[in-house]
Each structure stands twice: as structure tokens, then as C-alpha cells.
Structure 1
């Protein structure tokens, strides 16, 4: 990792590639149609992601080692939280304009800061707490016009339910991030990635008795493509962390909103509202500030370790 970290441009390149391919995944899901159950979408996304992940791990000669784990219950917990987050997120994705679904999803890293403080006992000082609350306010600015549809259309309003589902996905995603932080203490990245796809596929099958849609060929192919893209994007994301620090590449996650606006306009005719753009700007600014603070604190911790005398 030390040698790879000297090539941040390569890390940024892989990060941007992961953002682009994740966006292709989301576009495939949205194009597949609004009447496909979220559990069925989640199964395709998880199961077909296994193929590129296995090929990648085989190429790296890391496949057998990736199956070895000392914390299988932890992987089950991460898979359960992740599958619930994906199901809620995919429901929102098919019922909301693409840029709004992406922007509301930016609440997930904000929630991860909250849960890291509450569950892991991490120290979060006033600067980051302020950024978290400002970011959540931005998410509410984006969501509020959709949530007020409950007053007009009752709980049958699909866009209101979609916004609520993405908000719930962000909360569950934040919990999943905290679980990943616990896993990385003892587990390899390849193990976490592989077991997530495996456990998520199994958990998604639980939704089968509740009724899956009979898919036309086009929708089936789009969902298969979404799964393969999800696996490829995960590989690119993993590679990005091999070549650069998290604080270097994390801000490039926010390029997804610019790409999402362009794709949504060209393919689906969606035009972003002023409220959505204002809320997104607030949320992205808060997220970037949190990344900056994490970077500064990391530098301070390194300086403190260098200044500490070695134990005798």
C-alpha cells in the first residue's frame, strides 16, 4: 500500500471510474422499469456482481484467501444491513428522478459519522457535528417537496414513498459503513467485498415468496447488466483505495451528481429543480468539509505518533 499510495492520480482515476460505472448500474435499474420489486432488483444486483468479483480475485490470485474469515457473523450483519439499504435505495431510484435519488443518498456518509460516534465511541467534535447537521438540512431541503406529496396524495404518492425510502436507505447505509469499519480491523478488503455479494444474494432470495415480476427480456438483461456493473464498480473502488488515501479520493464521489443530472436529462428528460440544486450544494459542501476534517485529524494523529517517544 505504501508504494501504491504514491500514485494518487491513479487512485483518483479508479475512483472516478467507479462513480461512472455505479451510475451506469443505477441507469440500468431505472431503465428496467418501475414495476419490478425492490427485492428482485437487489438479487440481480448482488448475484451478478459475483462474476466480475470472482474473476478479479482469481486474476489477483486472492480468491481462496478471500473465502477465509474469522468473523462470519460480522459479514452476515453487514450483508443484512447492506441488502436492506440497497432495497430501499432501489425502490427510491425507480420512483424518483435520478439526480434526486443520488443527492438524497449523500446522507449516508453523514449518518455514518453519527453512528460511529454513538456505536463505536469515536470522538466527533463540534466542527464535524455542525457539518453533519448542515448536511442533513441540505438533504431535507431536497426531500421536503417530495415528502409534502403525502399531504396531497396520501401514502399512495410514489415519489413521496421513494424519497422516504432513500432516506431510510441512507440511515441503513450509515449503519453498514460502521459495520465495515469494524470488519476491516480483522478482515481483508477482498473478503469483505466477496462475502457481501454472497450474503446479499442469499438475503435477497427471501423476497421471492412475496412475488417477483415476470421480466421481459429487455428488463432482465438490464438487471443482469446492473449486477455486472455493480461488481466492476466495486473493483474500481477497491483499486482506488490501493493507490491513494481516502481523503484524497472521497470528494470525487460527488461527481456522480453532475453525471447523474446529465444522464437523467438525456435519457429520462428530468430537469433538476432549484430546490434540489440548493439542497445538493449544501449537502455536498458539508460532506467535503467532513472529509477535510478527517484528513486534518489524520495528519494530527500521525504527527502525534511521530512525536511520542518509543516505549522502553
Structure 2
């Protein structure tokens, strides 16, 4: 265990993913979402393969006893990516990031519904708090149709990004099922491969030949996606989830900076207030799970016969 190294790797992964999202957003006016998903997934595979070879997991680490589980995880994960990428072309980067924070909150709800996980009053409160923050962020967009100064595009963008968060939460439910028998290496690798294949379904909806500069950005987005996944996976080798997970919310600071300086996006007070609520809810859930884990560990030690 090396918590400092784990935190550094986590923050690096967050920065890399924000960079990837920025490149995807920069190509949104030219490239359809499905095609962007293909580049993001296909060009992540070489990075992941190099990492697996370096960690000596290229052989046994890719064995699977549940190929259909990987396919279903890829279906919902690819949908989440596609909706998220579509949203990047419709809304400011910080806003997309903030709405995306709904995914871990919705995962709590879906885990209770589909996995039978127990959800107590504290988690119900934090989920409601977080979802209230999401509604605050969405409120200006959902009333856009009634505002002469706002267009239907913003309302559509809000719903698209929220739909992506729903699929992302469902994807995490599938991952929770897979981790009981499948290696992390297999989950990471097969998702990228299957997502690249599934994205080809969108070919009839107007794929285009990207210009050289755009192609470079798309390929780089794929490389960054693979690198971010490697950094994220590696970070959990060095520290507990409760230590590392809160640093996910540093992506908001990075997204605000990139949005302002690169895309000329100025955040509203409403968006910042909603994002603060969602972030607080996420951190409270992580904090609560940390203390519950400590309590369970103490109970196990007290039940262990002393020699």
C-alpha cells in the first residue's frame, strides 16, 4: 500500500480523461458520436495491450468464463459513452462533467434494485441530495423550450447527458457482477474491444472521413482513453477505494479550467451550486462506506478466535 502513489495515479487518470473529453468535444462539429466512440475504443486497445504485456497479464489475465457478461457490459457501457459524447457537442464541458456525477448515485439505486444490495437511510438521503443537485443543474436546460433566448438544443443536450449517466450507472452494475469471477484485465480489455465493434452499428448514420487534424485528435483521444484506464486501474493497487475515490471530483476543477480557457465556456452560479451538491453527496457516500468497512473489519476481528 502506498496511498500517495495511488492518489497521484488517480489524479493523473482524471486529468487524462478530461483531456480525452476535450478532444472528443473539439471534434463534435465534424464527427458523429458513434464514430467518436469507435476511435476512443479502438485506439485504446493498443495502450491496454502494452500495459497487460508489461504487467504479465496478457495471457491468463484475459481468460473469461462469462463472455456474455462482457458483451452486456459493453452494450450499456457503449451506450453511455455514445450519449456522453453526443452531450459534449451540445453542452459546456463542466456541465456535462457535473451531470455525469449522477452515475455513481444512480449506481446505488440500481445496485439495490438488481443486485439486492441493502440501502439504508443515510445512503437514501445522500442519493436524494445528489439528485437534487442534478435537477438544479438541469433546471435551466429543461425550461429552455419556454425561453426565447434558449434553444431546444440545450434541452436535448441535458436529456442526452442524463441518459448517458443512467447507462453508465447500469454499466457499473454489470461490472459489479463481473468482478466476482473475472479479472480487472479482462473487464478493461473486452470492454474496449466490444465497444469498438458495437460502435460500427452506427455506420449507416453518417460516418465521415475526418480531416487530418481531426483524425489526429480522435486517435489521441483513444490513446488517452486507454492510458486513463490504465492509470485508474493501477491507482487502486496502492490505496483503498475510500482514499482514492474522492479525487474523482477534481475533474470538475479541470473541466472548469478547460471549458473557460479552451472553449470560452463561463459556468453559471446555478451550475456551480448544483455541482457542489452532487459532489458533496458523492463524497458523503464514500465516507460512509469507508466507516462501514472499518466497522465490518472490527466485527470480523472480534469474532476471530484468539490463540
Matches of 2:129 and 2:236, distance apart in 1:
28
Matches of 1:218 and 1:139, distance apart in 2:
35
Matches of 2:138 and 2:183, distance apart in 1:
37
> Residues 32 and 219 of structure 1 are in contact (CA less than 8 Å); yes or no, is this contact kept in structure 2?
yes
Select which of 223, 231, 236 maps to 1:236. Answer: 231
- The aligned counterpart of 2:208 is 213
Matches of 2:224 and 2:95, distance apart in 1:
21
- The aligned counterpart of 2:197 is 202
Matches of 2:28 and 2:166, distance apart in 1:
25
Could you give the per-residue CA deviations for residues 159-214 of structure 1, whole angstroms, max 9, x where no partner exists?
Answer: 21111111011111111001101110001111100010011111111111222123
- The aligned counterpart of 2:129 is 134
Report the aligned-residue RMSD: 1.3
- The aligned counterpart of 1:270 is 265
Structure 2 counterpart SS, 1:130: helix
| Moved beyond 3 Å, runs of 4+ | none
TM-score of the aligned structures, taking structure 2 as reference length: 0.96
Matches of 1:158 and 1:50, distance apart in 2:
33
Matches of 2:279 and 2:115, distance apart in 1:
25
- The aligned counterpart of 1:3 is none
Structure 2 counterpart SS, 1:165: helix
- The aligned counterpart of 2:173 is 178
Is 2:248 aligned against 1:253? yes
> Residues 39 and 218 of structure 2 are in contact (CA less than 8 Å); yes or no, is this contact kept in structure 1?
yes
Q: Once the 2 structures are TM-superposed, how far is the Cα of residue 60 of structure 1 from its aligned partner?
A: 1.2
- The aligned counterpart of 2:157 is 162
> Residues 66 and 194 of structure 1 are in contact (CA less than 8 Å); yes or no, is this contact kept in structure 2?
no
Consecutive unaligned residues in structure 1, runs of 5 or more: 1-5
> Residues 126 and 285 of structure 2 are in contact (CA less than 8 Å); yes or no, is this contact kept in structure 1?
yes
Structure 1 counterpart SS, 2:236: helix
Structure 1 counterpart SS, 2:89: helix
Matches of 1:145 and 1:152, distance apart in 2:
9
> Residues 34 and 95 of structure 1 are in contact (CA less than 8 Å); yes or no, is this contact kept in structure 2?
no
The total of aligned residue pairs comes to 304
Q: Once the 2 structures are TM-superposed, how far is the Cα of residue 70 of structure 1 from its aligned partner?
A: 0.6
Is 2:93 aligned against 1:98? yes
> Residues 28 and 88 of structure 2 are in contact (CA less than 8 Å); yes or no, is this contact kept in structure 1?
no
Q: Once the 2 structures are TM-superposed, how far is the Cα of residue 309 of structure 1 from its aligned partner?
A: 4.2
Q: Once the 2 structures are TM-superposed, how far is the Cα of residue 156 of structure 1 from its aligned partner?
A: 7.0
**Mapping for residues 20-39 of structure 1, pairs under 5 Å:** 20-39=15-34
Consecutive unaligned residues in structure 2, runs of 5 or more: none
Structure 2 counterpart SS, 1:278: helix
Structure 1 counterpart SS, 2:237: helix
